[in-house]
Amino acid sequence: MPYQLLPAPFFLLFAIRFLKLDHKFLKWKFWLFAPFWIFMVVYMGMRWDVIVNELTYAVARKKYFPVFKIEEIATLVYGFILVFWCFRIVFRFERQNRDKKYDLVVSQTRWIKKILAMGVGLCVIWLLSLFFDLVSIYHWGNYAYLPAWFGFLFLIIYVSYSGFQPNSILHNPPDLSEEAEEIILKTELSEPEKGDSTIRKYFQKIEQMMLVGKKYLDPNLDLQLLAKEISISPNYLSKIINSHSHMRFSDYVNSYRVMHARHMLETETFKDYDMLSIALEAGFNSKSVFYAAFKKHTGQTPGAYRIQYEKKNES
């Protein structure tokens, strides 16, 4: 059985399914296994010949040795083709999602690229083993393939280990609990000051957009965009936020994001999320900005806050 021709197409199909691109490759699924079925038919014919003509192992091996080597070379060539095709699919997927939390997309596709890089390395080792076996004056036999076998074993262990890691949050991240949502809605970051009723009304509208509409979760939110939605000038919006929250626009928005991140860090559902995932889900564009804003508003790093909260719950 030419099982060597199965791992590469199966992993390519897995990557396509993981990235939810099945609809674009439905027509290709069957043809990915064409080399496997071709050599399967060839091997069945060889097996029939051995049984009918009662060939010994030595005679059969000598007769069909070239077929085995052709299959081995075909497997290597086909493996290289599928690996680089998969690389292309992943890179294209990342480019198409630049506007959808690009850092999070890359963090979830990085492990696929690692496995593909290992696959390339394994193919190279296998190719060197094949070359050494064919040109060496010594009859190494299967011993020439020991590095390739150990490489394949390491790849299996790594894939298995990766499978036990926290699942992807790329497509369907879990929601905060109803209790946490209620806390966020009830939290008052600032009290509108007495003064111009028009300004106070605008600020209440902004607060409503933040608390209920959760505009702060949009990583592209800026002064111009929010001002356009409220139909006022950016300068006027900046004046409203400064007068009522005593913060600049960026700090005001980040205060909501930090509040959202705090509740994620305190929620059991998100305990396996790393800090980059927490940051991006809370609306931050990068981990460094998240850390700076979190420490500014809480006096702690996100990691220290999570540890302190866990210890508090344990006691």
DSSP 141-153: GGGGGHHHHHHHH
At residue 180, the pLDDT reads 52
Residue 74 burial (CB count, 10 A):
16
At residue 315, the pLDDT reads 62
At residue 166, the pLDDT reads 46
At residue 301, the pLDDT reads 92
Chain CA centroid to CA 292, Å: 25
At residue 277, the pLDDT reads 85
The type of residue at 252 is Y
User: Residues 66-111: pLDDT tens digits?
Assistant: 888 888 888 889 988 998 999 898 888 877 776 555 556 676 788 8
The overall pTM is greater than 0.85: no
C-alpha distance from residue 198 to each of 6, 94, 201, 205, 239 (Å)? 68, 45, 5, 11, 12
Higher pLDDT, 136 or 212: 212
Say what angle helices 146-163 and 102-135 make with each other, to 10 degrees.
160
Average pLDDT, the chain: 80
- Rounded-to-integer distance, Cα 154 and Cα 158, Å: 6
- The residue whose two tokens read 């990583």 is 219
The contacts of residue 168 (CB under 8 Å, 6+ apart) are: 18, 108
Higher pLDDT, 133 or 65: 65
For the chain, list the domains and their CATH numbers: 3-163 (no CATH), 178-314 (1.10.10.60)
Taken in order 111, 115, 116, 120, is the CA torsion positive or negative?
positive
Per-residue pLDDT at 127 exceeds 80: yes
At residue 54, the pLDDT reads 85
Picking from 14, 15, 169, the residue whose alpha carbon sits closest to that of residue 91 is 15
